[in-house]
Structures are given as structure tokens and as C-alpha cells.
Amino acid sequence: LRRRASGSVIHLNNTKSPSPTMSSSEVGTPDAKRQKTMPMNGNGHAHQNGSATLNGEVCGSTARLMADRQLLSSQSLPTTRTPTVFKTVQLPDHLRQKVLVTGGAGFVGSHLVDRLMCEGHEVTVLDNFFTGQKKNIEHWLHHPNFSLIVHDVTEPIRIEVDQIYHLACPASPPHYQYNPVKTIKTSTIGTLHMLGLAKRVKARILLTSTSEIYGDPQVHPQPESYWGNVNTIGPRACYDEGKRVAETMMYAYKHQNNVDVRVARIFNTFGPRMNPNDGRVVSNFIIQCCQNKDLTIYGEGHQTRSFQYVSDLVNGLTSLMNGSYDLPVNLGNPEEFSIKNFALKIKEMTKSASEVKFLPATQDDPTQRQPDITTAKQQLEWEPKVSVVQGLKHTIDYFQNVLKESGEIAPTGPDASKPKA
């Protein structure tokens, strides 16, 4: 500032030099002031792409989100329990079914869910997690076609479905004997609720029954026409008789209420996702051999069993559900083993140092079990494709990974016990 003698003030250098692109007459005009606030490019022109850049980033982010969503809706996510990535298909609305799987977080149920999801159906799993495990289905939790309802089938539920696979019930002797009254309720009241649901929404319902309805059979192999030999008051009766009553209810609803029913009588099944603490023959023998522990056989080991791999069972279940045959069907592998020879086979395959240890026999343990699958062959065009040895290789690999993850596992004995996680 320089003050004149008159006392007035004049301002010096209060403006910047004119821009090379402006004439001296343009300096200080409103347009020029606005222009001076805008960044200049190399040609002296103001940039207009600030908002365009932001919009581009938003659009790019949206596109990535849409691509991620598209990917997640077309496959499962790999997990420790299920590292395999399953691809799903997009079905048109008139072909896509709404399918309810009770007990869908269990061993067999989770494999059935995999099949249904890969086929493009909308799948709802209903499970109370007594024996089922969330990690069996966690690879589907993100998928838009998958829903999980934590619920007990002994309580009623309302849901809109086209098909019901009713698997809910503990299946290993130690687990179903832990709470025999609850086991009976699951097979009877639970089945009654599912039949009521099927009646209301006009859904087809498939019950997974069991070879245990034949009891300790006096006919060998067992055809569907055999009525069985069951001790109604023994330790296995809560499961055996519960399933027999469930079959009776299925056909009562069919004849009285025209409910569309299917019944599968499942023989011993094995494969990945078996609970290592379920006390069943396959899981116990593999866990014992992989840890070089004694191979425990209850009785002399002469009793026989037939073992099918889980993928064959799933094929049979879906064929039965989607076929027209509505009488009971045996689903099992006729390849029969004595328990002793089966134990020695697993010991050989695992190269284990385990020794066989014979313990007292359990009450009402069937002496022989082998399915007659003539009906399945004729009516469903179904028979097992995976040999027992092939299935054991997959199952042994699975349990070896489980042991690496969890450390030592104590096999479950024949006595009643609560399922472990």
C-alpha cells in the first residue's frame, strides 16, 4: 500500500497477470473469474472430467459388484470341509422346484443338497443341528437359491414347497439311543408334520426309511416284501419301530388324503462328511486305523453288512423322488462283507499298525444285512456305480484331512452318547 498526501489509499499488484489466453480487457470479468477457478490442461483449456472420473469409478465398482454377484450365484464357495467348487445352473421358472430337505445339514442330507443345488433348484434346509453340522452346508450359505431354517421337525412349520425330502432323524445307534423318546418323536410326530405340510401345499414327499425295519432278518438278502424281525422293546426299537410307524403313516396319508409319497429303505452308507464320532463301522474303523489304535469289533466279527457310497444313494433318492414308483424301495450295495474282513480291508488300505480287538457283542445287533435291489433296478433303473474300495479311498482321504485339522479323535463306542461337533 502507498498512502498519498491526500490520505486516500491505492492498491498495487492486487491482480495476477492476465492468462496467456485472455486479452487485457477480459481480466476481472465474471467469466474470467469463473475460468480462473478451473484447472487448465496443456492446451490452456479447462478440464471438464472431474465428475466424469467419479462417475466412471462408481460405474466400475458397480460392474465389479454385479460380476461378483453373478459368480457367487453360479457356484459354491470352497471351504475346509468341502474344498470342491460345485457349479449351479440357471433353470427357467417352470422347471425350477422349491425343495425342502429336513436333516439337510447331516451326512447324507448335505450331499443331497449339493445335487439339488447343482441342478438349479431352490433348496431350503431344515435342521436342528442335533447330529447335523453347519459346516456341511456352509459352502452354500451365500447362494441366492439356498435357505437355512434352524427348526425341529417335531414342531409344525408352514412353508411353500414342491418337494419334501424327509431325512431328519439320528441314524447311528449311539446317537439315536442317547434320547430314545426324542428319536421316536422325530420319526413319528416329525413325519406327521411333514405329511401335513405335503397335504396342504400338494407337495410330493420322500421318506428316508432304513434297512433297520427288517431287524435281525430271517430272510437273506432282504426284499421289500419281507416284513422283518424286530424286537419292539430292545435298545434299537426307538429307531427301528419309529421308522416302521413312519412308513405306515406315509401310506395312510396316501390312501386317505391322496398325498404323493415315496419311501426309500436305505442300507449302510458311507463317504465324506460322516461324523467321525458317530460310532458307525466305517467311521470308527478308519479313525482307529489312521491313528494306529485298536480296531474294536463287537462280537466275533462274523456278522455281515453291505456298504454303499453316498453318491450312489443320492442318485437313488433323486431317481425315486422324480419317478412314478410309489412303493418302498431298497437302496444299497449288495456287495457283502463280514465285519472282521471289512476291518482288515481298511487296515490294509491305510497301512495301519492297528490290532484287531474283539469286545462283547451288542444287544440285537443284526447277524446279516444285504439288500435285494431288484425293485430299484426294474423301477428306477438304478444300481450302485461306485465300488466299496473306490468309496473307501475317498473316505479315508477325507478322514485323514479331518485328523490333520482337529488332531486326535477318540472313536465312539456302542453305548448311547450325545453327538459331538
Q: 161, 100 in Cβ contact below 8 A?
A: yes
Classified as helix, coil or strand, 135 is helix
Residue 379, CA atoms < 13 Å, CB-side half-sphere:
22
User: Per the residue annotation, which of 178, 214, 239, 253 is the catalytic one?
Assistant: 239
Residue 117: count of CB within 10 angstroms of its CB = 24
**What is the C-alpha to C-alpha distance for residues 240 and 228, in angstroms, rounded to an integer?**
10
Active site residue 251: no
Q: 396, 108 in Cβ contact below 8 A?
A: no
Q: 306, 367 in Cβ contact below 8 A?
A: no
Closest listed residue to residue 221, CA positions, set 136, 325, 306, 125: 306
**What is the C-alpha to C-alpha distance for residues 102 and 195, in angstroms, rounded to an integer?**
12
* Cell, residue 320: 425315486
**What is the C-alpha to C-alpha distance for residues 100 and 147, in angstroms, rounded to an integer?**
9
**What is the C-alpha to C-alpha distance for residues 263 and 120, in angstroms, rounded to an integer?**
24
CA angle 340-343-344, nearest 5°? 90
DSSP assignment string, 51-65 = HHHHHHHHHHHHHHH
What are the backbone dihedrals phi and psi of residue 261, each rounded to the nearest 5 degrees, phi first? -120, 155
What are the backbone dihedrals phi and psi of residue 55, each rounded to the nearest 5 degrees, phi first? -60, -40
H or E segment at 147?
Answer: strand 146-150
Residue 357 DSSP class: E
**What is the C-alpha to C-alpha distance for residues 358 and 94, in angstroms, rounded to an integer?**
57
The CA-to-CA distance between both ends of the chain, in Å, stands at 85
Active-site positions read 239
